[in-house]
Amino acid sequence: MGMGDSMTTCTIMITSTDGTEIEAYLAQPDEPSSRGGVVVIHHMPGYDRGTKEIVRRIAELGYDAIMPNLYWREAPGSAPDDAAAAARANGGVPDERLVADVTGAAAFLRGLGSSNGKVATIGHCSGGRQSVLVACNADIDAAVDCYGAYVTGVVPEGWPLKITALNDQLPNLRCPVLGLFGNDDQYPTPEHVDEFEEILKAHGKTYEFHRYDGAGHAFFANDRPSYRVEAANDGWQRIAAFFRAHLGA
């Protein structure tokens, strides 16, 4: 945990591992230290103010935090809602591209002078699934999944969005996972979370799940009717403890 809450934020360009330059939002504690980094994977509504607040809160916890703009290719410089609409109309973000962008962001964090080499991912909603996806395919030290739909379960056929469930990839998971879920959620349902947990257990993976009664999807979203203060406050404490445990030197 950082001793001070002074930080510096900026918008920069980083390089995806596929070679594409994309925009990213970076927040760094001002206090000199050797510390871990966190890649924040924005939700489907995009590279928005709410997710930038999450980036800053993670910097306040004492970590270098970065959010790549996953829609930069479709909509450079556009308003987040327009960019999200363009990306959706275009079929969403393909998994391979997502992994490349997040891996590029992780490499950027590891290249900072303040880095201790450890990097985690965190995402909410679609970003939750993508956080797990990255943890199955890249060198990440810890992953947080906040109510990501279609980690397990069956994606209906014929949808234009390029997503698949991750059941087949979970055996390749390379790092501990923290999962935070609302018991009233329909995507993922508690049964989807059960299935996720059973696969992790069967393969001897390290995980920590917390499930909240009286909370549905997006209970962290403090600008939405779905916000549930008790679940969100407890969830933030779990996230802080998880990062302390896995991002230390």
Residues that bind another protein (CB under 8 A): 43-45, 74-75, 78-79, 81-86, 88-89, 92, 125-126, 147, 149-150, 155, 159-161, 163, 185-187, 216-218, 224-226
Give the HSE-up count for residue 129: Cα atoms under 13 Å, Cβ half-sphere: 24
User: What does the alpha-carbon distance between residue 192 and residue 67 come to, in Å, rounded to a whole number?
Assistant: 27
Which strands, in side-by-side order, build the sheet including 7-15? 7-15, 21-29, 64-68, 35-41, 115-124, 142-146, 177-182, 207-212
Region at 117 (left for phi over 0; alpha for psi -120 to 50; beta for the rest):
left
Cβ proximity to another protein: between 43 and 52 the closer is 43
Q: Is 48 a catalytic residue?
A: no
Cβ proximity to another protein: between 62 and 216 the closer is 216
Q: How far is the CB of 89 from another protein (least distance, A)?
A: 5
Q: How far is the CB of 119 from another protein (least distance, A)?
A: 25
Cβ proximity to another protein: between 227 and 240 the closer is 227
Pick the catalytic residue: 125, 136, 146, 175? 125
Q: How many helices (H) and strands (E) does the chain have?
A: 6, 8
Q: Is 18 a catalytic residue?
A: no
Pick the catalytic residue: 124, 192, 217, 246? 217
User: What does the alpha-carbon distance between residue 1 and residue 203 come to, in Å, rounded to a whole number?
Assistant: 32
Q: How far is the CB of 97 from another protein (least distance, A)?
A: 17
Helix, strand or coil, per DSSP, at residue 172: helix
Pick the catalytic residue: 95, 101, 141, 185? 185
Q: Is 185 a catalytic residue?
A: yes
Residue 81 makes CB contacts below 8 A (sequence gap 6+) with: 45, 46, 48
Cβ proximity to another protein: between 201 and 224 the closer is 224
Q: Which of the residues are catalytic? A: 125, 185, 217
